[in-house]
């Protein structure tokens, strides 16, 4: 199965800062990578699909890039509601796999 490695595990930043989250795949997933945001007690929310496409209703401060094995989620200027856990997911090969998450916390 394809292993997705997210880094860092925890990112401590302040509102207004920019954030860069990484996701590395153990083999190429082409552009079949998505990003989700999850807040405590809630279901995940789709942010980015096909590596760089924002899902409906997602603010423009969220952007995704990358292809093959290296991907990045960038949040240009953090809002208070952006502090959450972020997961990447691949659908290139079965089984579908998720990364272990990056916790974005307030510094």
Partner 1 sequence: QVQLVESGGGVVQPGRSLRLSCAASGFTFGSYGMHWVRQAPGKGLEWVAVVSYDGSKKYYGDSVKGRFSISRDNSRNTLDLQMNSLRIEDTAVYFCAKEFRSTTWYDSWGRGTLVTVSS
Nearer Cβ to partner 1 (16/41) = 41
Determine, following the binding rule CB under 8 A, whether residue 95 of this chain makes contact with partner 1.
yes
CA–CA gap between residue 86 and residue 93 (Å, rounded): 21
Q: Looking at 2, 21, 99, 104, which residue binds partner 1 (CB under 8 A)?
A: 99
The angle subtended at Cα 22 by Cα 59 and Cα 84, nearest 5°, is 50
The verdict on 100 binding partner 1 (CB under 8 A) reads yes
Q: How many CA atoms lie within 13 A of 2 on its CB side?
A: 25
Q: Please give the Cα distance from 1 to 20 (Å, whole number).
A: 26
Given candidates 62, 83, 97, 104, which one binds partner 1 under the rule CB under 8 A? Answer: 97
- 19-25/70-75 β-pairing: antiparallel
- For the chain, give the number of residues: 107
CB of 16 to partner 1, least distance (A): 28
Binding to partner 1 (CB under 8 A) within 27-56 occurs at: 34, 36, 42-46, 49, 55-56
Q: Rule CB under 8 A: which residues touch partner 1?
A: 1, 34, 36, 42-46, 49, 55-56, 87, 89, 91, 94-101
């Amino acid at each position: 199965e394809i292993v997705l490695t997210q880094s860092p595990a925890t990112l401590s930043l302040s509102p207004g800062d920019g954030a860069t989250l990484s996701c590395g795949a153990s083999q190429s997933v082409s552009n079949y990578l998505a990003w989700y945001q999850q807040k405590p007690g809630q279901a995940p929310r789709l942010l980015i699909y096909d590596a760089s496409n924002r899902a409906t209703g997602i603010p423009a401060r969220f952007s995704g890039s990358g292809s093959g094995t290296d991907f990045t989620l960038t949040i240009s200027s953090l809002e208070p509601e952006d502090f959450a856990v972020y997961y990447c997911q691949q659908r290139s090969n079965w089984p579908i796999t998720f990364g272990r998450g990056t916790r974005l916390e307030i510094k």
